[in-house]
């Protein structure tokens, strides 16, 4: 909470759907005033209205639009104490030799360059005030091999960018961290499970024997955004139900089941 007792403002870019929308709901429940920005302006507005927050349409890859949105959010909702960047696009699974370069560039433009643009626009204001917290959503694809060449590279870049900005802005009182979710039960992934698109259920490859719930990712994000993590910066918090540690057990027949 702020010193005046009013709700601190959290801007969630990509907050209209999926993990971002869950983050908005949890942060509101924890005492934040949420500003929801999403390329789907109608979705952003729906989430914001339910939370008595602020909503706007925003293309994270448009630098001028992000700067304008940051100015508008701070003018109408108040100084942003926490920024969450959840906006991202995915890619079709294709062999690397068949991945069009323009698709590669589109994905990096949104996922990596867009994260930089949002971090700059809001981070500049945080640096000026001498306080703030940024949480960028990366992915387990950032540090694992999988047939998602552009998406994985973009998220690896997000992790590295996070560490760079944490080092640069630390003395200004601004913390920058990342959260890397594993396979998470958002509507998009549930649709893929129902369609049989996955060759195997992702939960079979985790130490906990299940997938991640969206609220579990949101809990990690809100923790890093809050003062409860006041000495944590430049870190990448993995929320994957133990996917990373269980993967190498496959050659031994998989993790132990009880």
> Rounded to whole angstroms, how far apart are CA atoms 181 and 22?
13
> Rounded to whole angstroms, how far apart are CA atoms 138 and 179?
6
Torsion-angle region of 256 (φ positive above 0: left; ψ -120 to 50: alpha; else: beta): beta
Contacts of 209 (CB under 8 A, 6+ apart): 203, 241, 255, 257
Question: In 10 A of CB 107, how many CB atoms?
Answer: 23
Is 198 assigned a catalytic role? no
For Cα atoms 171, 83, 90, give the angle at the middle one, nearest 5 degrees: 120
SS3 sequence of 6-52: CCCEEEEECCCCHHHHHHHHHHHHCCCEEEEEECCHHHHHHHHHHCC
Catalytic-role residue among 32, 122, 151, 243:
151
> What is the set of active-site residues?
151
């Amino acid at each position: 909470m702020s010193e005046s007792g009013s709700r601190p403002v959290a801007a969630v870019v990509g907050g209209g759907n999926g993990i971002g929308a869950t983050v908005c709901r949890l942060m509101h429940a924890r005492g934040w005033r949420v500003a929801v920005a999403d390329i789907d302006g109608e979705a952003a507005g729906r989430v914001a209205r339910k939370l008595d927050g602020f909503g706007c349409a925003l293309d994270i890859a448009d630098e001028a639009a992000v700067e304008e949105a940051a100015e508008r959010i701070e003018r109408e909702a108040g100084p942003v104490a926490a920024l969450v960047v959840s906006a991202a696009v995915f890619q079709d699974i294709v062999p690397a030799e068949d991945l069009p370069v323009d698709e590669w560039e589109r994905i990096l433009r949104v996922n990596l360059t867009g994260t930089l643009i949002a971090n700059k626009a809001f981070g500049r204001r945080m640096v000026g005030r001498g306080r703030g917290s940024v949480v960028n959503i990366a992915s387990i694809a950032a540090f694992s091999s999988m047939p998602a060449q552009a998406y994985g590279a973009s998220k690896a870049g997000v992790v590295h960018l996070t560490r760079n900005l944490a080092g640069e802005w630390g003395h200004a009182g601004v913390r920058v961290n990342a959260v890397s979710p594993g396979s998470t039960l958002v509507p998009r992934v549930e649709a893929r499970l129902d369609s049989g698109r996955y060759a195997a259920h992702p939960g079979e490859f985790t130490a906990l024997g299940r997938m991640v719930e969206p609220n579990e990712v949101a809990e990690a994000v809100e923790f890093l955004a809050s003062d409860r993590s006041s000495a944590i910066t430049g870190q990448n918090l993995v929320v994957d139900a133990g996917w990373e540690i269980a993967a190498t057990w496959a050659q031994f027949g998989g993790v132990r089941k009880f």
